[in-house]
Structure 1
């Protein structure tokens, strides 16, 4: 007995020393959080079903000074999708539904096209439904405030994004439909069904689905976002389970990931269905039942991440290496793949490249840029407006001896200093060069960046501030039951969604009447007489949204 114990001690000491080597990268990141009152993360790694690393950094609750521990409960965002999919697989194994059943069988309020959308397509993001989160955004609203009835009304008023089964396109709508199917077939809420059939069998005691206003979880980590001056708590709970809604700890999720490897509780048939059967193909990956399968560091990785304000988790399983990793965070600026790489790269037998350390200006001599003085007359020779194409105009002004650049199309402006070379100026990531002087004025402005080398030509007259006035108006979408209003401000085309107070900028047109916006591409439609009658908006998750101009 004593000999056996000694051997065990030797094994543990040996593994511990090895694991310290494996996890130096992630330990170096954990160290950066020491003494800082900031949100953070929790990470757990297993090898061959055994925990080989577990650590945390930062605070779960900044206001209460509660640090993140292995008991901290995080919002899972879209990591939840694999559990919604697992519930469907359980129902299929129980013979209560078939993957080839059509959507309209369970939600008859959908139009006739839903008879061609199968449960399997909903699971794999090939059903062709518009994403309800994108649709709510185009209304100027937050889908987290929608209940199930509101989501159903919104979705059933839409045409399809794509032919069912034709292409892969990530859609939270498909997973909202799956949640409705689970409740209709089982007669239970998604939360209750998942608890009984997924979480309790795996003893995941701190994992559950939560909807607003019922979130009374103990040890809940608050999600935070920052504007650079401080942290603000985020609200992520929804009134209806869609593609998110789950909460868990890293320790609980480790149990799920180990089951993904061992198949001890749910069996081979369940996991074959979850991971390998009927996958959809994407660019460089396959997707099946709430899980991506692609190559990471030359290793097969089965994973899913999640993104809501304040939370950016990831779970990953490397089947060929028998390695799993769980990363949970409550910081909106969190880079999950940095942590994933630091926690697994050496364990996977790959080389880890440490980030370059930033110079400590307090202990090092810093080269001070040489001051360059420019004659006032030369500064004036640069001032004026420069055009790349209609709408793309840069204004250069002399503000008390400093040059100011203003992008006319979006109002962005900044001051920039000269460099030693004549006619050259520096902005972070860009060089501005004035050239082709005629009659004492620069005729061209050249912008050089890592991805651009453009020549703007001087305008002899002020830019036309009425260029986009023809697009002004209020436009209504019947399927959204909402409006978008376009207006101009200092010659810039702007728009408001629904009843929003804040406005957004439409970039100068890519071609006549085609504008890029942060909400998708807008293509205005003209009548035979040339007047604007409406537009089509294409967001990647909500295509061909039609808007008609009001009060023509």
Structure 2
């Protein structure tokens, strides 16, 4: 364990880190760093609502975004332990009307199903004039016979649709709705009193101490309520499983510590949670370079498990180090700093290494790109490594929109004549031209990775 003297030093450095970010208007949220389950740093910054200026406190609940997948996966683990399902069960067993014969529960858990992400859907797939729920996603998959990107088990592609289907399977097998299942079997037993399945817009019983989500607009140099910028957040508000769970940092620490015990599942099942899953060619199923377990990215060489979450207005992080240290960050201001960079520097502080203040996205001066050139960028681009993955670039009223297969369409803005940046996520697109000035490819730069797409 960290000594009391070291605790004080860690706490002081962490406070410097977060106070600096707050002064730069780059951080709003809750932070908890623990050693063997004991918090050594716990603070909240910013406001639940930027209009009313209600301060965030330790009981403020945040949308967890993709950290919610851990709870959905645990529901599957518990039902497996009870003999209610098998990881090798096919999706056809539970939903025979779906057009997928060989996809298993394992494929859904580990993102090896190839089913595209429903967050890229619009009016063609669902009714965008109402709030959609898990059953609506299922009905659309059945009705539209959505094709997979690849055969199950041969590749990985992060898809929120997988965890919608897992939540539906949990309901079907347990005989109770997903929210009730989690409350009775996970949140209740762990005394997670400030955690629940929650949709801010459809919920009848509103959470009073709830953090509204804000997105930084570098063009206007201000934060905007996420509802005003990302409309799909409204019509997919009823979905739960891939996201749709709200919690606090303290409750997530209870969750973290329970995974060292058998309160939720036996030792063998917990071991499976953190075990890499293998593709059919024997290679690990990886996302962002990490082998993927049951809702956890696995980094054995550096000794930790982690998952992040990103949803309009929210950025979240939970890291479990093998030496029983925990980092939890819940933010309700999105896309001003990189959550991975923040986590990396928190880790440096814990381990008494040099750290840096994460780079803060500045207000942007958008360059003027001619309408003629914008037209040249428009078109379809195929992944160099995975032809099923495509980028579609649309030019509408001299504004570029970029859409990756299975994802939503986002505005992108010119940083240079050939480099465009997102405001909804931390990413850039770089277009390349040949000697004749013809656009031939684009490169997506995100989280330290570069993916190349060739124009068709």
> What TM-score do the two structures reach when normalised by structure 1?
0.61
For residues 317 and 197 of structure 2, what CA distance do their matches in structure 1 show? 17
Report if aligned partners of 2:44, 2:56 keep a CA contact under 8 Å in 1. yes
Match of 1:148 in 2: 134
The one-character-per-residue Cα deviations of 1:190-238 (angstroms, maximum 9, x if unpaired) are 1110111111111111111123401612311111123244332224461
Partner in structure 2 of residue 164 of structure 1: 152
Say whether the 8 Å CA contact 1:39–1:59 is kept in structure 2: no
Q: 1:353 aligns with which of 352, 355, 369?
A: 355
Are residue 230 (structure 1) and residue 219 (structure 2) matched? no
Q: Secondary structure at the match of 2:189?
A: coil
Give the Cα–Cα distance (whole angstroms) in 2 for the partners of residues 407 and 117 of structure 1. Answer: 47
The alpha-carbon deviation at position 147 of structure 1 amounts to 3.0
Is contact 2:276–2:298 with CA below 8 Å preserved after alignment?
no
Asked if the contact 1:225–1:234 (Cα under 8 Å) also holds between the matched residues in 2, the reply is yes
CA–CA distance in structure 2, aligned partners of residues 325 and 487 of structure 1: 41
Aligned partners of 2:61 and 2:210 also within 8 Å: yes
Provide structure 1 residue ranges, at least 5 long, that are not aligned to the other structure. 1-10, 359-403, 412-464, 472-483, 525-552
The residue number in structure 2 matching 1:240 is 239
Q: Deviation at 1:159? A: 1.5
2:197 equivalent to 1:193: no
Partner Cα separation in structure 1 for residue 296 and residue 274 of structure 2: 7
1:275 corresponding residue in structure 2: 274
Tell me, in whole angstroms, the C-alpha distance in 2 between the residues paired with 1:139 and 1:521. 26
What are the within-5 Å matches in structure 2 for residues 58-457 of structure 1?
Answer: 58-111=46-99, 114-136=100-122, 145-156=131-142, 157-211=145-199, 212-214=201-203, 216-227=206-217, 228-235=220-227, 236=233, 238-263=237-262, 266-276=265-275, 278=277, 280-282=284-286, 284-294=289-299, 299-319=302-322, 321-332=323-334, 333-347=336-350, 349-355=351-357, 406-407=369-370, 409-410=372-373
Structure 1's 143 and 287: CA in aligned 2 closer, same or farther, altered over 3 A?
A: farther
Q: Is the 8 A contact 1:38 1:62 kept in 2?
A: no
Measured against aligned partners, the alpha-carbon deviations of 1:505-542 in whole angstroms (never above 9, x if no partner) come to: 99788899977699x97976xxxxxxxxxxxxxxxxxx
Does the aligned pair in 2 maintain the 1:41–1:328 contact within 8 Å? yes
Q: Which has the larger radius of gyration?
A: 1
Question: Which consecutive residues of structure 2, in runs of 5 or more, have no partner in the other structure?
Answer: 228-232, 279-283, 361-366, 380-391, 419-430, 445-451
Distance (Å, rounded) in 1 between the aligned partners of 2:130 and 2:20: 34
**Closer, same or farther: CA 357–514 of 1 in aligned 2, 3 Å:** closer
Distance 2:23 2:402 in 1: 45
- For residues 494 and 229 of structure 1, the distance between their equivalents in structure 2, rounded to whole angstroms, comes to 20
TM-score where L is the length of structure 2:
0.73
Distance 1:201 1:308, change over 3 A: same
The CA distance in 1 between the partners of 2:151 and 2:198, in whole Å, is 33
Paired residues in the alignment total 390
Aligned-residue Cα RMSD (Å) equals 4.2
SS of match in other structure, 2:340:
helix
Contact 1:206–1:252 at 8 Å: present in 2 too? yes
* Aligned: 1:49 with 2:37: yes
Aligned equivalents of 1:175, 1:143: Cα separation in 2: 24
Rounded to whole Å, the distance in 2 between the matches of 1:357 and 1:327 is: 17
* CA shift digits 1:101-143 (9 cap, x unpaired): 10011112211xx221110110000111111112449979979
Cα separation, partners in 2 of 1:344 and 1:357, compared to 1, 3 Å: closer
What is the Cα deviation at residue 357 of structure 1?
11
User: 2: distance between equivalents of 1:488 and 1:247?
Assistant: 36
Aligned-pair CA distance for 1:301: 1.6
Distance in 2 separating the partners of 1:287 and 1:143: 35
